[in-house]
Structure 1
């Protein structure tokens, strides 16, 4: 398996992250002391939900959308978060302030059902309230990785159907996505492209997927892909700017014949795709439409920052 770590989550190395404080159930712990019980529901059976968002210029960008997704995920798995949205945001800022963070920061919020008295799936064996962990790091997307683009390999691992594991749920169990990524790495690609249960293109293992054909922007229907905030913002900005954008079923036939392709995620924004399954998609990186959308997405972030006063 290739040992490189080129991909959409490549970050510029920042030595400050070695000293960050990690939030665990109200307490802040040095990174090396940040531990949780082996009887935690998330560790035992992947029973929990998580959310990841960015801080730009003192603002938690697209915060409402991220909180909506977290609360919906918790409701889906029957998890009582045990605090209000406002209280959770206060805990996030407690973590950020303790680490003196206000820009180019990545925050991951992790909630599990709690501590079990014995290894088991049964939620009735939980003997504590929910465990809340907040990891904030100084993380700026590596511009070299973004400018180089990523290569994809189509995995045999399919995105789940909503009736057994809804792909829109940010749950702690990511085993099928890890399997898909391992296949891609073993094939020499950077990340995995995943199909839905009907054989149409769905998403990637950690990002959402778009193609550009004759100036039009295509992405999947949304029925079998991750409920991506960045994905939604790209669709939104296309509609605002009059760029033809369609959520539709399409197959690898259209992908291999696309003019451009890119993936989206909260960390990397829009990252160009150069190859899929060894077929060159675009020699210009990023392509013309992708470059345009990168700029429009950055404008949307700046507008979101301008519309929200920074944390006092």
Structure 2
């Protein structure tokens, strides 16, 4: 079972889901890719997590923009148009009878290799495209109770090592951070940038609230999060002071509220960081932003 902001309500219907692989739908236990696939051998690919609300995929255009930009950055052809991939997503939802409370994992890898080797020139097929839809909703208490974070030694690195803005299948640094946080008894990991400022969490984006202001990192060392961007927009629309800036753990420990954002759970409050109590569960700013976010989702789904 996933922990932290990704804890979910188990749904027995997921045993019978149909998964889309390169134009064909497969039963869950028959959905397979080759051991020679670039994603399996090397983590060579990009992906997106999507939420379905009332029959519509929330912020789909933004997610597809990020997917295409990531594929272009690693010189990978997706092999489908945006329209064809959108149609495949809806075909998969329809085949599974899904309308709401659904999370989709959309994955694209470079395709099959002639031999296990990193050079893209030994790829012998078109890209592998996989769509995994699941009935998956966050546990209700995620919105109120407050997560416990632990600052790990693993940093979000410089872009000339592996650019953290790329939503690639190669997530080992985030996995290592997650392991360290779990061993410390925390829900998720808080990660710093190379200069010691707060960057992001291992699978979500991090915000603090200080004296009525909402702060998040500069974004220089983290994925351009879709929900993160929406929350910044919501703050500006509601005249809530919001800043993308450098800040330290000292400023985190002294914050009045903290929260994380992500496609799966939306906004989830943080109650403690490194054992320092931030707040007792959800504070007034987080509650207000959660409401504004749900209103935005409802408009998106209208």
Q: TM-score range by the shorter chain?
A: over 0.9
Q: TM-score, normalised on structure 1?
A: 0.95
Between the aligned partners of 1:245 and 1:145, the Cα distance in structure 2 is 23
Give 1:161 deviation, angstroms.
1.3
Aligned to 2:261: 264
Structure 1 stretch 156-165 or stretch 209-218: which is displaced more?
A: 156-165
Aligned to 1:309: none
The answer (yes or no) to whether the contact 2:2–2:8 under 8 Å persists in 1 is no
Pairs within 5 Å for 1:115-134 = 115-134=112-131
**RMSD of the TM alignment (CA)?**
0.9
**Candidates 154, 157, 161, aligned match of 1:157:** 154
Point out where structure 2 has 5 or more consecutive residues left out of the alignment: none
Between the aligned partners of 1:168 and 1:231, the Cα distance in structure 2 is 13
Give 1:5 deviation, angstroms.
4.2
- Count of paired positions: 302
Point out where structure 1 has 5 or more consecutive residues left out of the alignment: 307-312
Between the aligned partners of 1:286 and 1:222, the Cα distance in structure 2 is 24
Question: Which secondary structure does the structure 2 equivalent of 1:180 belong to?
Answer: helix
* 1:16 matched to 2:13: yes
Aligned to 1:172: 169
Between the aligned partners of 2:205 and 2:163, the Cα distance in structure 1 is 15
The alpha-carbon distance between structure 1 residues 44 and 64, as it changes in their structure 2 partners (threshold 3 A), is same
Aligned to 2:34: 37
* 1:300 matched to 2:292: no
Q: TM-score, normalised on structure 2?
A: 0.98
Between the aligned partners of 1:147 and 1:38, the Cα distance in structure 2 is 42
Pairs within 5 Å for 1:67-216 = 67-216=64-213
Structure 1 stretch 141-150 or stretch 66-75: which is displaced more?
A: 141-150
The alpha-carbon distance between structure 1 residues 93 and 5, as it changes in their structure 2 partners (threshold 3 A), is closer
**Candidates 245, 248, 253, aligned match of 2:245:** 248
The alpha-carbon distance between structure 1 residues 142 and 200, as it changes in their structure 2 partners (threshold 3 A), is same
Give 1:147 deviation, angstroms.
2.1
* 1:288 matched to 2:290: no
